[in-house]
Amino acid sequence: MTHIFNTVQELIELKKRYRRVFFISFVLAIVTIIAILKDLQNSVQAEHVDDVLEFCKTSTIKPHYSPDRKRINERNVLFNHESFLLSNATIIDGDGTILKDMDILVKNSTIVRLGKKLSLTESYSTFLDLNGSFVSPGLVDIHSHFGTRVQPQLKATEDTNEFSGPITPYVRAIDGLDPQDPELESLVASGVTSHLVLTGSRNLLSGESYAIKMHRSPNNLVDELLIQYNANIGEDNKPIRWFKMAYGENEKSSHAPGYPVSRMGEAWDLRKVFQEGQALVQKQDEWCRSPQLQKTEYPRDFELDNVAAILRGDFNINVHVYETYDIEALLRIADEFGFHIGSFHHALSSWKVLELLKNHNSSVAIFADEWGKKKEMSEGTVYAPKILSDYGIPVSIKTDHPALPGQDLLYYAQIAHSFGLAPEKAISAITSVPALTMGMGHRIGYVREGYDADLVVWDNHPLILGAKAKEVLVDGIPIFNFTKISGKDKYEVPKQRKQHRNDAQHKEHLLFWALSTVLVMI
């Protein structure tokens, strides 16, 4: 009996020991797991801090690029390429310079050589004799809503404006851009190879915009349209970014909930959001300077991050505006908060504030002949491109596609030339000036070595009414497969209409002004 009792006692003690061992093992396992998770968290936090510190290091860097004759277009990874030599071309460069009897060697989506008789020294797959045909850079439309306002314009395809409020810096055109917009082919066929796709004009801070190539994406992806796809940025640089603002009649006349009803209200809304952006920039800079603060979360605000980026100079700013006093108000606010407005778009009255624009180093992207559709368009004149250009202000001609058909970009440059804009300025207004204004002047807008192979072969001088593209290359890909390259084309010199004015008070403007006054009075 005693033996049995001792055995039971031993079993009870053994069970207790097992329980203690199990408990200790369980506690050790929990402690180990917590330690592993803490190490993992610290590792993730360290990586996060490293990423943010990298941002801190580059926060004062402004995007900057320069032409490089040895550069290769990074978008070449999207395409299967043949190299080819375009021989005996008459080049009209983006600055209007004309070079005769030139050869253009294209490889890897890039213009790699320019010169004479390159067939004697260079290797290539295909040779094409252009017989003196005019070759220009691909045309650049600096104001477009391609892909975000697909035609026919339906509510289902309208993704240009976000009406949830007047301040929407957080929206992005790329998130509403349809890469299969059916107008792409006809736009390219007209010689247009690049668009700046802007958000709409119904918001004071409208949103982030994107520069694209007019080439069908190999995989139907928006990212593959981006000019900066696969771009080699470099450690001491940043990608170019674009932002759209708007000011004037559209916002005050919206009548949507929360929108201002006067220009005073518009200015207040802008000052308020830029003040909030300043506070965010200050918090971020303090975090970057303080090792103690770096133990805490980096200050971010999705609604204000792009406002902070504007104040840091990370954005190329494009503004929808018409009236002179609206231009002045915007520059007043920009001066107050220390950011630069790169280009005023539409800006039909801009020819009346030349010194203001020049002092602020701002360019103008203007309609060639729009006028009078609303009060703020009543100061338009077909002489505006000439007046601005003669004063030294960079002028781009644009379409606002599809408000005006993007296929007619060249035609609008022809109109500006007809009303006095010098031929070289008319060419640059749809090539190099918009490219430079966008910050892309190192890769598009010129026929030069190291530039993207965006080229147009014309059947006549492009400023001759009726001139059309025989071939268009986007990133070195010919859209007509060179089937229209044959024979010798016309070689005409573009002519301007007789100019009857020597100052801003010309007859057409007086007529426009009189009609607009009558319409306003009615």
- Predicted confidence band of residue 485 (pLDDT cuts 50, 70, 90): confident
d(CA 315, CA 201): 17
- Predicted confidence band of residue 53 (pLDDT cuts 50, 70, 90): confident
Residue 80 is given by DSSP the state: -
- Which has the minimum average pLDDT: 140-154, 204-218, 227-241? 227-241
d(CA 38, CA 243): 41
Q: Which pLDDT does position 249 carry in this prediction?
A: 95
What is the arithmetic mean of pLDDT over 360-368? 98
Q: Give yes or no for residue 482 having a pLDDT over 70.
A: yes
C-alpha gyration radius of the chain: 30
| Cα distance from N-terminal residue to C-terminal residue, the chain | 121
Q: Which pLDDT does position 491 carry in this prediction?
A: 67
Instruction: Specify the 3-state DSSP secondary structure of 464.
Output: coil
- Predicted confidence band of residue 232 (pLDDT cuts 50, 70, 90): confident
Q: Give yes or no for residue 513 having a pLDDT over 70.
A: no
Instruction: Specify the 3-state DSSP secondary structure of 458.
Output: strand
Tokens of 378: 């009543």
pLDDT in tens, 70-114: 999 999 999 988 899 999 999 999 999 999 999 999 999 999 999
Phi, psi dihedral angles at 241 (to 5 degrees): -125, 150
What is the arithmetic mean of pLDDT over 371-395? 96
Q: Which pLDDT does position 38 carry in this prediction?
A: 63
**Domain 140-447: CATH superfamily, name plus number:** Metal-dependent hydrolases (3.20.20.140)
Q: Which pLDDT does position 509 carry in this prediction?
A: 55
Q: Which pLDDT does position 520 carry in this prediction?
A: 45
Q: Which pLDDT does position 321 carry in this prediction?
A: 98
What is the Cα 429 distance to its own chain's centre?
16
d(CA 473, CA 440): 18
Q: Which residue has the higher pLDDT, 307 or 498?
A: 307
Strand intervals (E) in 54-156: 84-92, 98-107, 110-115, 126-129, 134-137, 139-144
- Which has the minimum average pLDDT: 51-55, 329-333, 501-505? 501-505
What is the arithmetic mean of pLDDT over 503-520? 52
pTM over 0.75: yes
Which residue, 449, 466, 440, is CA-closest to 210? Answer: 440
Q: Which pLDDT does position 43 carry in this prediction?
A: 47
Q: Which pLDDT does position 48 carry in this prediction?
A: 54
What is the arithmetic mean of pLDDT over 138-161? 94
pLDDT in tens, 401-442: 999 999 999 999 999 999 999 999 999 999 999 999 999 999
What is the DSSP secondary-structure string of 239-268?
--EEEEEE-SHHHHT---TT--SSHHHHHH
Q: Give yes or no for residue 122 having a pLDDT over 50.
A: yes
Q: Which residue has the higher pLDDT, 256 or 306?
A: 306
- Which has the minimum average pLDDT: 120-129, 304-313, 403-412? 120-129
CA distances to 259, 393, 471 from 489, rounded to whole Å, are 55, 35, 13
Which three-class secondary structure string do you get for 286-330?
HHHHCCCHHHCCCCCCCCCHHHHHHHHCCEEEEEEECCHHHHHHH
pLDDT in tens, 497-511: 777 655 555 555 555
Q: Which pLDDT does position 516 carry in this prediction?
A: 53
User: Would you list the domain boundaries of the chain?
Assistant: 1-59, 140-447
Q: What is the mean pLDDT of the chain?
A: 90
pLDDT in tens, 162-189: 999 999 999 999 999 999 999 999 999 9
Q: Pairing relation of β-strands 455-458 and 241-246?
A: unpaired
- Predicted confidence band of residue 303 (pLDDT cuts 50, 70, 90): very high
CA distances to 9, 152, 155, 286, 317 from 161, rounded to whole Å, are 83, 17, 11, 35, 17
Q: Give yes or no for residue 487 having a pLDDT over 90.
A: no
Q: In this prediction, what percent of the chain has a pLDDT beyond 70?
A: 86
